Chains A and B, each alone.
Chain A
Amino acid sequence: MSTATASAPDTQRTPAGRAIEMVTGGNRSIPVLIVLAIIWTVFYSQSSAYLSFQNITNLTLQIATTAILALGVVFVLLVGEIDLSSAVLSGVCAAIAAGLAVNSGLALPLAIAVAIGAGMAITLIEALVITFGVPSLIVTLGGMVILQGLILVVLPPEFTVSVAGTSFAKIASTAVPAGASYVLAAVGTVAFAAYRFFVYRERISTGTRTSPVSIVVPSVLVAVVLFGGVYTLTRQRGLPMPVLIVAVMLLIAWYFTTQTRYGIHLYAVGGDREAAQRAGVPVRRMVIYSFLILGACAAVAGMVDASRQLGVSVTSGAGPLMLNAIAAAVVGGTSLFGGRGSIWSAILGALVIGSISNGVQLLGLTTEVQYFATGAVLIIAVAVDVVLTRGSLWPGRR
């Protein structure tokens, strides 16, 4: 820590240091947006179908599962832990929900609640072992293997549950009609502007420096994103339900990470555990909360995925999902070392990774190109993270 103190004034003076300071903190999303723009430009120049309304709608559906899981992973990364088991956990939760709803005839909301509860219970056990002192890498690696066994237990003897034609399948296939979607976008914009106005009034009341610009500019941005999104995504059949689920989860996560005491403590634990402990932050409890959120996110991700794939099988949650979710969080700007990043990194990172694989498939390129590109983007993103954490471009200059 004292070394950080010593290097801080130096990094401020060098141009590289200043650039690093600029992209940390609130502006951390900008480099990701630039990367996203480059990816889209490259693929669009190869095929104009890439940015068609239909393909963008497809892309959002493809990344929904990754984005939801990545959101949970972000919470765990923010407190300085890691998780490798949540993808398989999502499969287990989906198997539980589908089994209860389809095979046992339980009401869908109840089945969903049970699955989310099961997800949180499993991550709670993992979190308790981690706060006991076992490294999270090991706990969740072991947990992943155990869960791979558990999914065989949860699934019926034929090892698959088909949800085609059931209410379960409607989770992903429901679309909010265009009219209602625009109403939602309008409500969202007005609510956001009202919130900014509320904050503006608060700041005026204590004489804190502020200006009406702090209401107008963000509100216009939000309106552009919401209406642009709705316009793009409702060209086919209306706003897909998974998109709405992601949006609502992001909204809740944004509120709790940036506007509440819980959020400050979350970042404090990731930034400096001992300092947080000394300041009276309940460090162990914050770690447990993060894993509980991950459990809930994994359950939702698993159910959305099962609903979209029309079934659960032993391969649910297997494959590249786990690495994609971690990669998404990190590519989006959440530090592997804890304490830095935001919930937006989940959706931005998922967009980057989804855009690459979508584009590769659209152009009919071979699968290895997709692997090469995704892997390279991940390594570059972590390299950027290392530079930002170190506060210097070159090693050994602390």
Chain B
Amino acid sequence: MSLLELTKISKHFGGVRALHEVDLSVDAGEVVALIGDNGAGKSTLVKIVSGVESPDTGEIRVRGESARLVSPRAAAEAGIRTVFQDLSLCDNLDAVQNLFLGQEKYGPMWSGRRIRRHVMEEHAHRILESLSVKLRSLNTPVVALSGGQRQGIAICRALISDPAVVILDEPTAALGVSQRAEVLDLIHRLRDQGRGVVVISHDMKDVRQVADRVVALRLGSKVAEFRRGEYTPSDLVGAMTGAHEGDSSVPAGATEGDEL
């Protein structure tokens, strides 16, 4: 059974067709890469899965059960966490406040929901350490941190609630070489923990390195699906750009994937 299964998801913005009957499934312990050119509908799909947007039609199943992801909170409760490309950190808050934003640990009602900062700090230390994210201080507003540190905090934030599915939107786009390797390492670690991981990426090198399965979108539709080792780099580029259109190159993996 898939952790997350999307069936025939469509979404329009006004007259613009952003997604058309897209299917996608993620199993436990699997990394699925979502690729596509600009405007292919990757971001819309991410927004739908993370509860920011609702699909016009189509069904979302989480662990086999139909789910309505009407808000980010509903998606989080269903066990889906998203790390957005812009990281969605509040610049004016510190690392601990950002990590727990929306899922703070707080005391009883009579205390006015007093935050249990010491518990949160201890938890934050543990989780940041497990991914070796190094910070000078947990009390510095994140605007003063480096791009890699901010990415680390954003990914750690997704892990606070121990989600089943983690969605990473362009996780390596803003990073240097060593930090990129760290993030790819982290994606493997997420998979080894038995989570389902969806990685949206432009970078074919990253995709080939981490993905067990690659799904290509073009102009809002799913055009191809490849399994690890069953594709060449030019297959990916071809599927993204439509360069091989009309070629008989719809790979065996695609039909197989559709039946899943």
- A12, A261, A274: the one contacting B113 at CB < 8 Å is A261
Residues in B with CB closer than 8 Å to A261 are: 104, 106, 113-115
Q: List, in ascending order, chain B residues with CB within 8 A of A376's CB.
A: none
What 12 new A-B contacts, CB under 8 Å, besides A271-B90, A275-B86? Answer: A4-B91, A5-B87, A6-B147, A203-B118, A207-B122, A208-B125, A259-B114, A260-B113, A267-B93, A277-B52, A278-B50, A280-B73
**Complex interface: chain A residues within 8 A of B115 (CB):** 259-261, 263-264
| Number of interface residues, chain A, beta carbon within 8 A | 43
Choose among B89, B102, B116 the residue with the greatest number of A CB atoms under 10 Å from its CB.
B102
- Asked if A262 is at the interface of the complex by the 8 Å CB criterion, the answer is yes
The A interface is mostly helix, strand or loop, or mixed, namely helix
Q: Are B113 and A276 in contact (CB under 8 A)?
A: no
A260 to B114: give the CA distance in the assembly, Å: 4
Q: Does B43 contact A (CB under 8 A)?
A: no
- Do residues A280 and B52 form an inter-chain contact, with CB atoms below 8 A? no
**A256 to B114, alpha carbons, bound, how many Å?**
8
Check if A271 sits within 8 Å of B92, measured CB to CB.
yes
Chain B contact residues (Cβ within 8 angstroms of A): what range? 35 or more
Q: CA of A202 to CA of B145 in the docked complex: distance in angstroms?
A: 28
* A260 & B106 in contact (Cβ 8 Å cutoff): yes
Q: Does A268 contact B (CB under 8 A)?
A: yes
Residues of A within 8 A of B121 (CB): 203, 206, 208
**A339 contacts partner chain B, Cβ-Cβ < 8 Å:** yes
Given A5-B174, A8-B143, A280-B73, check contact A264 B88 (CB 8 Å).
Answer: no
Residues of A within 8 A of B249 (CB): none
Decide if B102 touches A8 in the complex (CB within 8 Å). Answer: no
27 contacts between A and B (CB under 8 A): A5-B174, A6-B147, A8-B144, A8-B147, A11-B144, A208-B121, A256-B112, A259-B115, A260-B115, A261-B113, A262-B113, A263-B115, A267-B90, A267-B92, A271-B90, A271-B91, A271-B92, A275-B86, A275-B89, A275-B90, A276-B90, A278-B50, A278-B88, A279-B103, A280-B72, A280-B76, A281-B101
* A308 at interface, CB cutoff 8 A: no
8 Å CB contact of A24 from B84, B141, B145: B141
A6, A256, A274: which contacts B88 (Cβ < 8 A)?
A: A274
- Nearest neighbor of A274 in chain B, beta-carbon distance: B88
- A binding-site residues for B, Cβ under 8 Å: 1-2, 4-6, 8-9, 11-12, 21, 24-25, 199, 202-203, 205-208, 255-256, 259-264, 267-268, 270-272, 274-281, 339-340, 391
Residues of B within 8 A of A12 (CB): 144
The 4 A-B pairs of least Cβ separation, nearest first, read A280-B102, A279-B102, A271-B92, A271-B90
How many Å lie between the Cα of A8 and that of B93 in the bound state? 14
Q: Is the CB of B141 within 8 A of A255?
A: no
- List B contacts of A271 (CB < 8 A): 90-93
What's the least CB distance linking B151 to chain A, in Å?
A: 9
A278 CA to B90 CA, complexed, in Å: 11
What B residues does A278 contact at CB under 8 A? Answer: 50, 52, 72, 82, 84, 88
Q: Which residue of A lies closest to B76 (CB)?
A: A280
A332–B93 CA distance with the chains assembled, in angstroms: 20
Residue on B nearest A338 in the bound complex, by CB: B92
Q: In the docked arrangement, what's the CA distance between A280 and B70, Å?
A: 11
| Cα–Cα, bound, A54→B145 (Å) | 49
B1: chain A residues within 8 A (beta carbon): none
